[in-house]
Structure 1
Amino acid sequence: MRILFSGCPGYGHLYPMLPLARAAVRAGHEVVIATGPDLAAHLAERGFDTWGVGPTFAESWAERNAVLSGLEAVPPEQQATLDIAVLFGASAAKRAVDLVPRAEAWRPDLIIHEPGEFAAPIAARRSGARHVTHGLSLTTPAPLRAMLAPAMDDVYDPWNVPDLTAAVFAAPYLDICPPALRPDGDPAYVDSIPLRPYAGDVRTTDQLPEALATRPVAYLTLGTVFHDAPDVFRASLAGLRDLDLQVVVTVGQDGDPDRLGPQPSTVLVERYVPQALLLPHCRLVVSHGGAGTMFGAFAHGLPQLILPQGADQFLNAAAAAAAGAAIVLPPGTVTPEAVRAAARRLLDEPGFATAAQTLRAEIDAMPSADDVLATLNGAAAR
């Protein structure tokens, strides 16, 4: 088979699909990943065949910030609604111009795309491929369909692809959310296939920093998008320093470790550390609540302190707290004292670890990428 994966040029949109892409490569299928030129180059370094299509993440983010110049005045939990149209819709419209003709020429059998990638279903319809939506985060609830559909229609209308929005929501959806974190009510996508989330992609050349101590680790990260928050980092570090743990901080590939100033020997500040290699050494994760970090930590049964910064992180944080496996500190409440108190509770009160281990067991029980690929291939054969 020829399988095309397509996504917005964001780590959190592409990395969740990599286990399935690697499973397809192992099974002998022809695999291509299409995304912005910046992330296409990054994935090519990881051994994938890629197409650079549409704008880069920086270009899309700059357009988003220009159009939504007053976004900082909008409550954070409402920002995702605006981003759907401005960030994802505008990016997809430009990406479709490059993606659709390439897909029509290549003729994939199957296209797998993430929910924020509106260009891929056009490519599937025009090339005759089946298409599948690959979840990124919590199970998408039915009310979110009403927010996604108008932006999808705006992208689809110029391409003469009638009823494509309805077809997307009727197509299979690969749900990487463990059961205990799924929201109440009906899902937006009606044909759901569970798929085990994973802790992160690891290359053979990846390794942990040599300075990593042998003591247990508290991992502090604000992800790849919302990490320009030095005050949050400083308050968190001030609250974590007194714990009997090695604190490992990642400030992002374009971040400056020196920006946080001198640190004691128990604090290691890096731009990037392979999460999948680091999490087995951790006792605690302090993060923004991005789905990749949150699911990765729960895959290792780790309790979490979540400091949501934007996008879907507030929903993720609420779900993790409701499951009993996390404490949440919203914006404006992240002080050294609050971080220290929350971290000590997460380490000392066994209920948090028990809930995190329950989530780990749920994740372990979900079908693997190889299993799900076989399910998709079986559906194609029928």
Structure 2
Amino acid sequence: MRILFTACPFFGHVNTVLPLALAARRAGHEVVVATGADFAEHVARRGLTAWPIGPTSAEAGTPHSLAHFWHTAAQRCVDLLPLATAWGPDLLVSEEMELAGAIAAARGETRHVIHGLGIAALGDWEALAADIDELGLRWDVPDLADAYRGAVYLSICPPTLQLPSRSERMVQPLRPGLGEPAPGERLPEALLALPYERTVHLTLGTVFHQRRPGALDAAIAGLRELPANLVVTVGPDVDPDRFGPQPPHVLVERYLPHALLLPRCDLVVSQGGAGILLGALAHGLPQLVLPQGADQFTNGAAAQRAGVGLVLDGPAATAPAIAGAVGRLLGEPRYAAAARAVQKEIDTMPSADDVLASLIADPAPKPPARAR
């Protein structure tokens, strides 16, 4: 079977679909991942074929509204549609913000599956149906919103974090992937030599990490005062030297593979993107969320309601406040216990291999009543 995956050119979007793509490759299927050219090597290093389509993440810019995804989907269609038509996939899996995949599936009469990105699902945002339909009409796909709603939705959100939903779509749970390091990836020797028993990982992601100037500086300043190792990742476009000399228990890097790093951590401080939030919980780690944009405010609120973390937003995220919140998360066992409870939920969700087998075994499920 030929299976095409499509994703917007951001780490949180591409990395989320890779576990299912790798499962498809393990099962012997022909697999292609279509995304921005800047992620072609990232995909290829995992043994998958990459199609560069549409703008790179730098060319597309930081998403400031959902209109960003409508606009860039139209750009990706220019490259994706002829490639998909020529290759003829049997199944097309697009992450939920990548609407060019939905258009390619409809035009090619290809079975379409939508891969969720986290807690807040685009499929529940009924108010956006008109925008989705307008995009579809530009590419001769009428009623794109109905087709979108009729696709199976793969939800990677564990039950404890789920939000109330009015959607009637078909939902298939899928265990969020922990990620797989690419061949040759390893942790630096400096990390292995850090002095303290406990380790805190700090990241503000790779998309909104520079939206609030000084946010990362404040977090580093507060966390390096704690008796714990601090491992900071600043993103591929930020120079670690910008943060100046650090004490021996602090390590600042551009990027480290979470599949290797998180098993060594006791707590995560992050922007609350779905990838790092669910990745940390898959390892049973509580989290302090410093939301910067997009769905991160919703994710942080869900984590706090579930008792697996705390949230500090905007001006409240001072160095002393961050240090105090992390001290509380490390010192009060209830947060780690709640995180481990969600970890058990994640462990019981169907694996990528199981979900793929289910999708292959049931090639033509009936759409929900409202989409027929």
Q: Assess same fold via TM > 0.5.
A: yes
Task: Find the counterpart in structure 1 of residue 74 from structure 2.
Answer: 93
In 2: Cα distance, 1:131 partner to 1:142 partner? 14
Matched, 1:25 2:7: no
Q: In the aligned structure 2, how far is the partner of 1:186 from the partner of 1:216? A: 42
Match of 1:370 in 2: 353
Rounded Cα–Cα distance in structure 2 between residues aligned with 1:136 and 1:21: 15
Tell whether the 8 Å contact from 1:121 to 1:168 is kept in structure 2 after alignment. Answer: yes
Contact 1:121 1:131 in 2 (8 A): yes
Q: Where does residue 34 of structure 1 map in the other structure?
A: 34
SS at match of 2:346: helix
Question: Runs in 1 of length 4+ with deviation above 3 angstroms?
Answer: none
Counterpart Cα distance in 2 of 1:143 and 1:9 = 23
The answer to whether the 8 A contact 1:137-1:291 is kept is yes
Q: Kindly indicate whether the alpha-carbon contact (under 8 Å) linking 1:287 and 1:293 is maintained by their aligned counterparts in 2.
A: yes
| Residue number among 76, 79, 85 corresponding to 1:104 in the alignment | 85
Letter of the structure 2 residue corresponding to residue 136 of structure 1: L
Q: Secondary structure at the match of 2:28?
A: coil
TM-superposed deviation, 1:46: 2.7
Cα pair distance change 1:306/1:319, threshold 3 Å: same
Identity %: 53
In structure 2, the partner of 1:194 is: 173
| Structure 1 residue 142: Cα displacement | 6.5
Partner of 1:136: 117
1:199 touches 1:292 (CA, 8 Å); kept in 2? no
From 248, 261, 264, the counterpart of 1:281: 264
Give, in whole Å, the separation in 2 of the partners of 1:305 and 1:52.
35
For 1:1-382, what aligned pairs fall within 5 Å after superposition?
1-61=1-61, 83-85=65-67, 87-140=68-121, 144-147=125-128, 149-187=129-167, 190-212=169-191, 213=194, 215-228=197-210, 229=212, 231-380=214-363
Q: How far, CA to CA, are the matches of 2:352 and 2:97 in structure 1? A: 21
The one-character-per-residue Cα deviations of 1:187-234 (angstroms, maximum 9, x if unpaired) are 4x6100000002233112111110112632100000111222551122
C-alpha spacing 1:254/1:156, structure 2 compared with 1 (3 Å): same
Q: Normalized against structure 1, the TM-score is what? A: 0.91
After TM superposition, give the deviation of residue 128 of structure 1 in Å.
Answer: 2.3
Distance in 2, Cα, partners of 1:381 & 1:133:
15
Post-superposition shift, 1:15? 0.6
Does structure 1 conserve the Cα–Cα contact (< 8 Å) formed by 2:120 and 2:295?
Answer: no
TM-score by length of 2: 0.93
How far, CA to CA, are the matches of 2:123 and 2:173 in structure 1?
17
Displacement of 1:181 after TM fit?
0.4
Query: Which structure 1 segments of 5+ residues have no match?
Result: 65-78
Amino acid paired to 1:224: T
Alpha-carbon contact 2:133-2:142 (below 8 Å) kept? no
Work out the CA distance in 1 between the residues paired with 2:85 and 2:123. Answer: 32
Q: Distance in 2 between matches of 1:91 and 1:310?
A: 19
How far, CA to CA, are the matches of 1:342 and 1:158 in structure 2?
A: 49
**How far 1:242 sits from its partner (Å)?**
2.5
- Give the 3-state SS of the residue equivalent to 2:261 in structure 1: helix
Residues in 2 aligned to 1:195 and 1:345: alpha-carbon distance in whole angstroms: 32
